Structure 1
C-alpha cells in the first residue's frame, strides 16, 4: 500500500541516534573513524532489517555511538 510508513527495525537505537543529533551517515563516519570497515548502505540495510545484524555489528554500532548493546534488545 502506498504511503505506508516503514517502522525501523531498532526504534530505540534510531531514537538514540536522533537524540544525539546523528543519522546513519554520521554513524557510518564514526564507525570508520573507530577502525571499523562499514559502507553507508550496509549500515542502513542492517538498521532497517534488510540484512542480518550480527553480534559483532551490534558491538561496533554501540561502540561508535556510545550506546549500550542492550538498546538493541529492549
Structure 2
C-alpha cells in the first residue's frame, strides 16, 4: 500500500498490488500540510498529523476520520 502526503493537507492512498481498475482513495481531514503518518498494528487504521495541530485517526474503509484530536 502506498500513502502519499501532499502540502494541501490531502492523503492519497493506493494499493499497488490491486488491479489498475481500483482507484485511489483521497483522505481529506487536514487544513494544512500533512507531516506524519503511522499505521496501527492491525493495518486497518492510520494516524495522521498535520501542521494544523490536528491528529486524525482513520479507518481505511471510511473517507473521513473516526477520531480527531486538536489539543
After TM superposition, the score normalised by the length of structure 1 is: 0.26
Higher helix share: 1
After TM superposition, the score normalised by the length of structure 2 is: 0.27
Higher strand share: 2
